[in-house]
C-alpha cells in the first residue's frame, strides 16, 4: 500500500468484540490504527498487535484526536439490554453523552468521516420482515433508544457540520476472527451461551418459548459473521472518505457518501436461524449433547427478526461471504477453546 492509500483511524471500543476484529482488518489492509478504550467491558488482550492503544474514555476524545486522523470508527458503548432496563441512566450517560463529546472532538479536529455501530434494536418489534431501513424505529429498551438517539445526533452533525457518516445497524453478530472473539461478561448472546454448555461451564441452555409462529416454534434471528461485518466497515469507510476508495474486490467505484450525508444500512445475512437450529448446529460442531430447558417466553422477544441488507449491498458493494451457520459456530467454538487453553 502506498503512503497516499494508507489512512489513520481512531477505533473507539477497539478492545471489545466487534472493534477488535475491525481493528485487525484495518491493520491487515495496511492502515494505522489507534484504539481508544477504557476497558470497562473490553480486554487489553483484544487490542490487535500493531495498533496503538490509549486507555481512556470517549468522553475525553479531544485529548487524542487531531487532524492527522482520516476517520473514526465508533464502537464504544454499553450494550446489555437487560442492564439498560434496570439502569437506563448508565446508557444515556455513556452512549449518548460520550458520543456528544466524541462528535465535538471530531469537529474541533476537522475529522469528517465516521462509521458508527448502530443496532437492530433501534427498530424494536417491527411487524414486517425482512427489516428495511425505512421501517419505523421504535426501540423497546433504553439500550436501543440510546443508540437511536446517537443516530439522530449524527444526522444533525452531518447536516449542520458537513460530517460524512455511515451507521451500520447490526443484527446478531457472531463467530470469531482468529484470536479475536466474543467475551462479554455477563454473556447474553445465544451462540457463546450454548458453547458454554459444550465447555461444561453451564449445565443446559434455556429455550424461551417454543410456541411462536415459526417452523419449529422457537424465535428466529439473523446471525452475521463478525468478519463479514468487518468487511462492511472497511467499505463504509472507503465510501465516506473525501475521495471514495470503495470496494474490496477491485470492482467499479460505488456512489460515495458525501459530506453532509448520513447513510444508514442494516447488516445481516437475510437468513434467519431458529434457536433450535443454533442449538442443533452447536451439537454437530462440538459433539456435545447440549441439554435444553424449556422456559416461558420473554417479554419483548419478537418471533422473527431478519435484516434486509439490500441497501448495504447497493451503496457499499457489501456481500456476506460467511453466511453458513455451521461455519459461524465453528469459528466461535475454535475461539472459545483457544481462550480455554490460554
Ligand atoms: N455484539 C453484537 O451482537 C452487537 C449487535 C448490534 C450492535 N452492536 C454494537 O456494536 C458495538 C460493539 O459491541 P461489542 O459486542 O463489541 O461490545 P463490547 O462490550 O465487547 O465492546 C465495547 C467496547 O467499548 C468500550 N467502551 C465502552 N464505553 C466506553 C467509553 N466511554 N470510552 C471508551 N471505551 C468504552 C468497552 O470497554 C469495550 O471494549 C456496540 O456499540 C454495540 O452497541 C453489537
For the segment 90-97, the average pLDDT, to the nearest whole number, is: 98
Q: Answer yes or no: is 108 within a domain.
A: yes
Q: Answer yes or no: is 3 within a domain.
A: no
> What's the number of domains the chain is made of?
1
Which atom of ligand 1 sits closest to the CA of residue 143?
Answer: 43
pLDDT at 338: 87
For the segment 214-218, the average pLDDT, to the nearest whole number, is: 96
Q: Answer yes or no: is 1 within a domain.
A: no
Number of other residues whose CB lies within 10 A of the CB of residue 213: 8
Give strand pairing partners of 295. Answer: 208
CATH number at residue 86: 3.40.50.720
Q: Ligand 1 centroid to 266 CA: how many Å?
A: 17
Q: What is the enclosing helix (H) or strand (E) of 73?
A: strand 71-74
Give strand pairing partners of 293. Answer: 206
Domain housing 169 = 8-341
For 230-250, the DSSP string reads: HHHHHHHHHHHSSS----SSS
Q: Residue 64: is its pLDDT beyond 60?
A: yes
Which atom of ligand 1 sits closest to the CA of residue 20?
Answer: 16
228-262 pLDDT tens trace: 999 999 999 999 998 755 445 544 445 699 999 99
Number of other residues whose CB lies within 10 A of the CB of residue 161: 13
84 lines ligand 1 (CB under 6 A): no
DSSP conformation class of 68: T
Mean pLDDT of the chain: 94
pLDDT at 254: 53
pTM exceeding the 0.85 threshold for the entire prediction: yes
Number of other residues whose CB lies within 10 A of the CB of residue 173: 22
Q: Which residue has the higher pLDDT, 90 or 249?
A: 90
For the chain, how far is it from start to end, CA to CA, in angstroms?
A: 34
Q: Answer yes or no: is 2 within a domain.
A: no
191-211 pLDDT tens trace: 999 999 999 999 999 999 999
Q: Answer yes or no: is 308 within a domain.
A: yes
93 lines ligand 1 (CB under 6 A): no
Where in the sequence numbering do the catalytic residues fall? 143
* Alpha-helical segments (H) within the chain: 17-28, 81-86, 88-91, 98-109, 142-161, 190-198, 226-240, 275-286, 310-311, 325-340
Amino acid at each position: 500500500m502506498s503512503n497516499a492509500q494508507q489512512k489513520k483511524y481512531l477505533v473507539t471500543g477497539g478492545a471489545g468484540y466487534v472493534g477488535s476484529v475491525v481493528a485487525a482488518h484495518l491493520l491487515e489492509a495496511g492502515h494505522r490504527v489507534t484504539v481508544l478504550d477504557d476497558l470497562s467491558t473490553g480486554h487489553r488482550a483484544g487490542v490487535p498487535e500493531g495498533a496503538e492503544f490509549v486507555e481512556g474514555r470517549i468522553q475525553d476524545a479531544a485529548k487524542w484526536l487531531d487532524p492527522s486522523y482520516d476517520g473514526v470508527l465508533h464502537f464504544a458503548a454499553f450494550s446489555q439490554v437487560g442492564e439498560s432496563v434496570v439502569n437506563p441512566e448508565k446508557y444515556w450517560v455513556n452512549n449518548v453523552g460520550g458520543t456528544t463529546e466524541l462528535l465535538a472532538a471530531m469537529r474541533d479536529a476537522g475529522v469528517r468521516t465516521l462509521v458508527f455501530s448502530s443496532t437492530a434494536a433501534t427498530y424494536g418489534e417491527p411487524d414486517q420482515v425482512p427489516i428495511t431501513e425505512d421501517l419505523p424505529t421504535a426501540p423497546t429498551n433504553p439500550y436501543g433508544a440510546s443508540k437511536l438517539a446517537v443516530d439522530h445526533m449524527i444526522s444533525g452533525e452531518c447536516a449542520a457540520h458537513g460530517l460524512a457518516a455511515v451507521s451500520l445497524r447490526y443484527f446478531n453478530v457472531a463467530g470469531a476472527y482468529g484470536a479475536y472473539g466474543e467475551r462479554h461478561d455477563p454473556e447474553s448472546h445465544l451462540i457463546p451461551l450454548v458453547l458454554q454448555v459444550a465447555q461444561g461451564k453451564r449445565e443446559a441452555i434455556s429455550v424461551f418459548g417454543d410456541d411462536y409462529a415459526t417452523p419449529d416454534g422457537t424465535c428466529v434471528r439473523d446471525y452475521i459473521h463478525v468478519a463479514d461485518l468487518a468487511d462492511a466497515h472497511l467499505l463504509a469507510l472507503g465510501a465516506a472518505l473525501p475521495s471514495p476508495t470503495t470496494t474490496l474486490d477491485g470492482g467499479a467505484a460505488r456512489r460515495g457518501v458525501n459530506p453532509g450525508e448520513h447513510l444508514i444500512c442494516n447488516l445481516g445475512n437475510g437468513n434467519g436461524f431458529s434457536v433450535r437450529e443454533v442449538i442443533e448446529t452447536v451439537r454437530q460442531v462440538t459433539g456435545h449433547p447440549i441439554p435444553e430447558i424449556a422456559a416461558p417466553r420473554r417479554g419483548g422477544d419478537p418471533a422473527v427478526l431478519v435484516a434486509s441488507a439490500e441497501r448495504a449491498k447497493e451503496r457499499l458493494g457489501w456481500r456476506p461471504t460467511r453466511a453458513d451457520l455451521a461455519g459461524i459456530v465453528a469459528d466461535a467454538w475454535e475461539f472459545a477453546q483457544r481462550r480455554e487453553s490460554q
